[in-house]
Amino acid sequence: MTTAVKIQLAVATLMFAVAPWIVNAAPHEATMGLVYKIYFFHMPSAWMFMLAAIVSGVTSGRYLFTKNPKADATAVAAAELAVLFGLLALVTGPLWARKAWGVWWVWDARLTSSLMLFLIFVAYLLLRQFGGPGSEKLSAGLALFGMANVPFIYVSVNVWRTMHPKTSVVPTLPVSMGIPLWFCVTAFLLLFLALLSLRSLLERQRGRIDALYLAEDEA
């Protein structure tokens, strides 16, 4: 583990530990009251979910054109993080919705397309696990398909009629709500970067194990 990753993990852990106090200091929202505070963890999770899908898609594209194993390792790492952060967004969202909307789930454009993206990356990981030889190319194609879904998720709330808040909410937040939000976004981003480095390292080590087994067979 490099020093940069250790620093990222340490700062992210500290920020996550402090986050409840910072979130608690934020004022209550006029109509939703206390429950809107789920937003401070829900939105950064959703952003990291989309960022992970983009990283996986870009590095998969690079792998398909250059056959660089490092790009493939990063793509796998980002795909796994897309599943992790997607799960966080898809669990925290309904907990907020139950109070704010009165239902756990609605099949609107934002929620459905987010679920689809999550399932695409679950399929990616299953393909990598059980797909056998050549699955890295198939899964790279799947990651590109997943990445193409991200702009639709982002603009879905502005284009289609939905109960989900629009993208214009973040720039219009008052400072007292903006500070905890950007604090949590920074914490999630540091965590994402640290986990991406560690998971990529694991994938490269697995490649090294495969090479050592091959060398052993040839000897």
Burial of 87 (0-12, 13-18, 19+ CB in 10 A): middle
Judged by beta carbon, residue 159 or residue 212, the one nearer another protein is 212
Total number of residues shown for the chain: 219
| Beta strand ranges found along 39-178 (DSSP E) | none
Number of residues that bind another protein (CB under 8 A): 35
For residues 148 and 130, give the distance between their C-alpha atoms in angstroms, rounded to a whole number: 24
Compute the radius of gyration of the chain from its Cα atoms: 19
Judged by beta carbon, residue 64 or residue 191, the one nearer another protein is 191
Instruction: Write down the least CB distance from residue 170 to another protein, Å.
Output: 19
Give the angle 211-216-219 at the CA atoms, nearest 5°.
Answer: 125
Residue 160 binds to another protein (criterion: CB under 8 A): no
Judged by beta carbon, residue 1 or residue 159, the one nearer another protein is 1
Among 4, 18, 91, 159, indicate the residue that binds another protein (CB under 8 A): 91
Residue 105 binds to another protein (criterion: CB under 8 A): no
For residues 141 and 50, give the distance between their C-alpha atoms in angstroms, rounded to a whole number: 17
- The site map against another protein for 195-214 (x = CB under 8 A) is x--xx-xx--xx-xx--xx-
Site for another protein in 5-64 (CB under 8 A): 16, 20, 33-35, 37-38, 41-42, 45
Residue 191 binds to another protein (criterion: CB under 8 A): yes
b/e 96-106 (16+ beta carbons within 10 angstroms → b): bbeebeeeeee
Residue 92 binds to another protein (criterion: CB under 8 A): yes
For residues 99 and 26, give the distance between their C-alpha atoms in angstroms, rounded to a whole number: 19
Judged by beta carbon, residue 40 or residue 64, the one nearer another protein is 40
Among 87, 106, 115, 155, indicate the residue that binds another protein (CB under 8 A): 87
Separation in Å, CA 69 to CA 3, 15, 60, 73, 134: 23, 33, 10, 6, 13
Contact set with another protein (CB under 8 A): 16, 20, 33-35, 37-38, 41-42, 45, 84, 87-88, 91-92, 95-96, 98-99, 102, 191, 195, 198-199, 201-202, 205-206, 208-209, 212-213, 215-216, 219
